[in-house]
Copies of this chain bind each other. A is one copy, B any other.
Amino acid sequence: MCQLLGMNCATPTDITFSFKGFSQRAGVTSDHADGWGIAFFENKACRLFIDNQSAVNSPIADCLRRNPIKSKNVIAHIRKATQGNIEVENSHPFMRELWGRHWIFAHNGDLKNYAPVLNGTYLPVGTTDSELAYCALLQGLRDRFGNNEPDLAEIFSVLAELAPTIAAHGTFNFMLSNGQALFAYATTNLHWLIRSWPFSQAHLVDMDLDIDFSHYAKPDDRVAVIATEPLTDNEQWTAFTSGELLGFENGHLRYQAQTHVKLIEPPTQPVQEQAFANAV
């Protein structure tokens, strides 16, 4: 399993406070030490940092904690390997291009017996179930809209159709962004909150660090934060319901859908084994 962190804002915002707490989970307060990654959008493009070291020890993670990159859309991931080796090719987030924008995806969960039919437009580089799911999502969007870039409501609507078909294979908590909005989906574990004017103080769960955002933020700042587990212990986090898809834009919750996930039953036992079980 892994942990996810996302941020969607009205104005370019520094994620350092949240990332400091989050990256403690890569070996200090939790054992998600098999690689990490973070993507910062600037308009249609993003800067992606991935690493197969722990986010606690990685010099690049340290550099990012000391030199903040402001962004309106950020997705970060710390990995505890379940499927796929600890290699760069298996480090989330994954980046692809669609309709002349970078798209970023990160997944927490484990999909079983998942083998989507991919037409070659997007193929996985690594060996994770996560990247397979990402290719299937982008192929699904492209199949539906061709070369005509849809608006965010249309994208959200297709994601709400596609997500439960993938979630039928197991645990599927994910974040996806094209630099305009951040979409987040949960089957088991994801939380969100929105910080807005007048900002207040926050204290991290994973280290004894607090910040008073009211000293730094301006009235038009507005920040949605989404994380596998709440990052702070003195703010009100809302848990996603199972099958819930949310879409955040400019720090506002803009889109909400409740999908219905029906887990695909594991293959039935072979006849011989079944006969034996019945005999016992």
Of the stretches A92-100, A156-164, A187-195, A219-227, the one at the interface is: A92-100
Given contacts A59-B67, A95-B95, A146-B120, contact A88 B47 (CB under 8 A): yes
Closest to A67 in B: B59
Interface centre among A46, A52, A63, A97 (most CB of B within 10 A): A97
Interface residues of A in 137-151 (CB under 8 A from B): 146-147
Asked if A89 is at the interface of the complex by the 8 Å CB criterion, the answer is yes
Tell me the bound Cα distance from A67 to B50 in angstroms: 15
| A159: min CB distance to chain B, Å | 20
Nearest Cβ on chain B to A251's Cβ, whole angstroms:
21
The yes or no answer to A31 lying at the interface (CB within 8 A) is no
Query: Measured between alpha carbons, how far is A63 from B66 in the docked complex, in Å?
Result: 11
Distance in Å: Cβ of A36 to nearest Cβ of chain B = 12
Residue of B nearest to A119 (CB): B147
**Residue-wise interface mask of A (32-46) relative to B, using a CB-CB cutoff of 8 A (1 in contact, 0 not):** 000000000011111
- In the complex, A52→B42 CA distance in Å? 11
A50 near B51 with CB under 8 A, answer no
Residue numbers in B under 8 Å from A91 (CB-CB): 45
Determine whether A217 belongs to the interface, using a CB cutoff of 8 Å to chain B.
no
What chain B residues lie within 8 Å of A49 (beta carbons)? 47, 49
Residue-wise, chain A 207-246 has the 8 Å CB interface mask toward B (1 for contact) of 0000000000000000000000000000000000000000
Distance in angstroms between the alpha carbons of A102 and B48 in the assembled complex? 14
A253 interfacial by beta-carbon distance below 8 Å:
no
* Beta-carbon contact of A125 and B63 below 8 Å: no
Q: A63-B59, A67-B60, A95-B95 are in contact. Are A44 and B89 (CB under 8 A)?
A: yes
Residues of chain A touching chain B, judged by Cβ–Cβ distance below 8 Å, are 42-52, 59-60, 62-63, 66-67, 87-89, 91, 95-97, 99-102, 119-126, 146-147
- In the assembled complex, 12 residue pairs joining A and B whose CB atoms fall closer than 8 Å, in A order, are A42-B52, A42-B88, A43-B87, A43-B89, A45-B91, A45-B125, A45-B126, A47-B50, A49-B49, A96-B97, A101-B125, A102-B125
